[in-house]
Amino acid sequence: MRRAALAGISAALLVSLACLPAAAQAPGERSAWNVNPATCDYACLTGFANGYMAALAKRDASPLKQAAKVRFTENNVELPFGTAGMWATVTGVAPTGLVAADTQTGQAAWIGTAQENGKPVYFGLRLAVRDGVLIEAETVVVRNVGLPLPFGDASKVEHDPAFNEILPPERRRSRERLRAVADSYFSTVELNDGIVFAPFTEDCGRLENGILTTVSSADREGMAGNVAPGCETQLRLGIYRINKRIRERRYPLIDVERGVVVATGFFDHANAFDRYKLVDGREMTTLLKWPNSISLVEAFKIDDGRIHRIEAVFNYVPYFMHSPFYDAHPAAPAPVPESPLTAREPCDEACLIDLSDRFMDAMVRNRPQDLPWANYVRFTENSVAQQIDEGIWGSIRAKSDTALRVADPRTGTVTWYGLISDHDAWAWFGLRLKVLGRRIADVQVHAARERNPGPFGDPKQFALDPALSAELPAGERSNRRKMLALVAGYQDSMQRNDGRVLARLAPNCVRRENGIAVTAGDVGSAGIVKAPGSFATGCEAQLKLGLYRPVDAIRDRRVLAVDEARGLVVMSSFADYGFASPRYTLTDGRAVETSEVHPMSRELFEIYRIRSGQIASIDAVSVFQPYLMPSPLSD
């Protein structure tokens, strides 16, 4: 089976800890430090962590001693330091947090709570200091957006003082042993089948996003503590079997005196199964049916070689997302050129549509080997590069019988729009294939699942607008250039949204996102005012009123397919919402508030129908993504 190239793994991913001061590496790992002595002691490093949070609370990074360029990430996306993400939305920071430092690596951490536009969030920070200045800041921000994860009352969080206690020499362990103990915890949780590799104290406790998940609670249904109490007991029962792997494990902070290890990494939930049995025979069901990953910052207190306390913050991210700071990815294989004869094989409209149908059938049956692959294949799912047999390949169980296919022989591309189901959970779905001759060379899929922010229509009511499939009379058609100009004008209008409309829109134009008409009724596009239909109805009226003003940019616009006969243009793009303020003013002077308050991006797969030189409708798959999520696609 051919494997897709891991797009996006570039030289940028290889620039990581090479420049940090610290100590010798484990076998096969890069050195975390050089021979120069540390220039920032424990008080200095914890001062940097507390100073960072104080500066964040004021939305002003200038008091921090910092390098000319600070490498900064929020939820694994690189952002401009001091101005974007939480730096633009924070409205408060807890007075205390769990603070840790490592004088050998020159790194510090802060785990606690904050407020963003008045809403509580959990916050994890890892920072690196070199020569007395801040050079890196890696943050995980956990927002309560409706997905099923622990999210405790931020006003009641108490950090265990044990993390700050200095251990007597006889209960300390070496850096290597502390790292190994923390790693053994992850190895136990990975593919958790009841075998326990990690040592625990009898009273071990774990705090996750402010909730003690190792004790039972009547008011927290579905939590691990209600299945079994205690760290080791839960793991021996195998309640975390859904963790296919725990990857990109990093241990940037190890404090021997205090027995503290701070780790980062990803838990991958492939969800190839949605039911599983515990060691004692009880059956469990997964909370989410589709592939997902969680990104975490996790602190371990290890006393006398055993894990005593765990505190973590973690957040959902797209499945198999990577950290820009992880530098041990294998090199992507060199592309193997296709035979010139293969590339010249003709694939007309019927051929392209047949390939899209065959692809969808093969994905439902998990039979990628049945498809004609090019020598070098790129596969992306919600803008993350995957192996062809990963992600949605394991969770998909069905697809809608009805679908819209748009073939573009000129570019060798075809799109498919409809529904898919992950086990019994339906999702809105868009596919784009690019072929070389008659072989699939590039796969781009977009899947919008329920419980994420934004509109989500009833899959049982799914039906394609018949107008999308009908060919237009010759007099109502537009050429490719004019169609693309219309689409660009619409996207520019939404991006600028100052009341000017830069595209011709039909009087009855409707925009639908994930099956919901957002240009009428009570449900609106994510990020704009609630119930936009009560302010204005229709594509043009909403743009003239400036309802989409919270959209900062529509970027990475990509033409996927064009069908002049039916007047269809299929596009992909990202809409970014920074939400520096949740309030904005419409063109008629009314002040309104956004439906969301946390920075985010929407990944869009859109189908524009153009008739008589006007945009008549837009149907979109709209996917919730981390703010400024990068696109791995360039062609």
Place of tokens 């206690």: 165
Q: Would you say residue 328 lies in a domain?
A: no
The rounded distance, in Å, linking the Cα atoms of 172 and 305 is: 7
Tell me, yes or no, whether 486 and 635 share the same domain. Answer: yes
Whole-number pLDDT of residue 350: 97
CA 334 to mean position of chain CA atoms: 27
Taking CA 383 as the corner, what is the angle to CA 381 and CA 389, rounded to the nearest 5 degrees? Answer: 25
For residue 224, is pLDDT > 90? no
Rounded average pLDDT over 123-152: 96
The residue out of 416, 451, 486 marking a domain boundary is 451
pLDDT recorded at residue 345: 87
Kindly state whether residues 565 and 618 are assigned to the same domain. yes
DSSP 566-600: TTEEEEEEEEEE--S-SEEE-TTS-EEEBS--S-E
Domain assignment present for residue 457? The answer is no
* HEC profile of 21-65: CCCCCCCCCCCCCCCCCCCCCHHHHHHHHHHHHHHHHCCCCCCCC
Residues 501-527: what's their mean pLDDT? 95
Judged against a pLDDT cut of 90, whether residue 210 lies above it is answered with yes
Classify residue 239 by burial, with Cβ atoms within 10 Å: 0-12, 13-18, 19+.
buried
Q: Supply the pLDDT for residue 337.
A: 82
CATH number for the domain that contains residue 44: 3.10.450.50
Query: What confidence category does residue 221 fall into, taking pLDDT thresholds of 50, 70 and 90?
Result: low
- For residues 478 and 443, membership in a common domain is answered with no
Report the amino acid identity of residue 109: A
Residues 149 and 275 in one domain: yes
Q: Are 271 and 344 within one domain?
A: no
In this structure, are residues 149 and 209 in contact, taking their beta carbons and an 8 Å threshold? yes
Q: What is the DSSP string of 355-414?
A: HHHHHHHHHHTT-GGGS-EEEEEEEEETTEE--TTSTHHHHEEEE-S--EEEEETTTTEE
Token representation of residue 395: 């969770």
Residue 26 has pLDDT above 80, yes or no: no
Q: Please indicate, yes or no, whether residues 357 and 282 belong to a single structural domain of this protein.
A: no
Rounded CA-CA distance 294/272 in Å is 16
pLDDT-derived band at 17 (thresholds 50, 70, 90) equals very low
End-to-end CA distance of the chain: give it in Å, rounded: 25
302 and 431 together in one domain? no
How open is the CA angle 330-317-3, to the nearest 5 degrees? 35
**Taking residues 537-549, what's their average pLDDT?**
97
By mean pLDDT, which of 32-36, 90-94, 379-383 is the weakest? 32-36
pLDDT on residue 433: 98
Distance from chain centroid for Cα 572 = 17
Distance of alpha carbon 137 from alpha carbon 56, whole angstroms: 12
SS (H, E, C) 73-134: EECCEECCCCCCCHHHHEEEECCCCEEEEECCCCEEEEEEEEEECCEEEEEEEEEEEECCEE
Give residue 220's pLDDT band: very low, low, confident or very high (50, 70, 90): low
Residue 229 lies in a domain: yes
SS3 for 325? coil
User: Average pLDDT, stretch 302-309?
Assistant: 98
630: Cβ–Cβ under 8 A, 6 or more apart, which residues?
A: 8, 77, 78, 383
What pLDDT sits at residue 12?
Answer: 32
Q: Is the pLDDT at 387 greater than 60, yes or no?
A: yes
The pLDDT of residue 216 is 66
Q: What is the DSSP string of 243-261?
A: --EEEEEEEEEEETTTTEE
> Which one has a higher pLDDT value, 1 or 434?
434
pLDDT of residue 344: 82
Domain termination site, one of 288, 317, 346:
317
Residue 288 belongs to a domain: yes
Pair 423, 289 in one domain: no
8 found inside a domain: no
Give the range of the structural domain holding residue 392, as residue numbers without chain letter: 338-451
Q: Which of the listed residues 419, 451, 483 is the one where a domain comes to its end?
A: 451
Same domain as 342, residue 287: no
- Of 14-23, 246-255, 385-394, the poorest mean pLDDT is in 14-23
Predicted confidence band of residue 27 (pLDDT cuts 50, 70, 90): very low
Examine the domain organization and report whether 310 and 343 are in the same domain: no
In the predicted model, is pLDDT for residue 461 greater than 50? yes
Characterize 265-285 residue by residue with b for buried, 16 or more Cβ atoms within 10 angstroms of its Cβ, and e for exposed: bbbbbbbbebeeebeeeeebe
The reply to whether 464 falls in a domain is no
Measured distance CA(50)–CA(67) in Å, rounded:
18
Contact 252, 262 (CB under 8 A): yes
Q: Which two tokens stand for residue 140?
A: 């995980």
Query: What single string gives the DSSP state of each residue in 531-561?
Result: SGGGT--SHHHHHHHTTTTT--EEEEEEEEE
Answer whether 14's CB lies under 8 Å from 8's CB. no
Q: Which tens digit of pLDDT belongs to each residue from 67-87? A: 999 999 999 999 999 999 999
Gyration radius of the chain over CA positions? 26
Average pLDDT over residues 110-137: 98
Angle at 269 between CA 265 and CA 275, to 5 degrees: 150
Residue range 520-537: mean pLDDT, rounded: 93
**What is the rounded CA–CA span in Å between residue 93 and residue 114?**
4
Domain count, the chain: 3
Residue 230 lies in a domain: yes
pLDDT digits (tens, 9 = 90+) for 106-121: 999 999 999 999 999 9
* Per-residue model confidence (pLDDT) at position 223: 60
Q: Is-contact 618 607, C-beta < 8 A? A: yes
Question: How far apart are the C-alpha atoms of 39 and 106, rounded to whole Å?
Answer: 8
Residue 330 pLDDT > 50: yes
Cβ–Cβ contacts within 10 Å for residue 538, how many?
18
Question: Are both 238 and 313 inside the same structural domain?
Answer: yes
Same domain? 300 vs 173: yes
Closest CA to 70 of 60, 80, 62: 80
pLDDT at position 10 is: 34
User: For position 21, what pLDDT does the model report?
Assistant: 37
Is the pLDDT reported for residue 15 higher than 90?
no
**pLDDT averaged over the chain?**
92
Q: Is residue 359 in a domain?
A: yes
What is the mean predicted confidence (pLDDT) over 586-597?
96
Identify the residue with better confidence: 197 or 633.
197
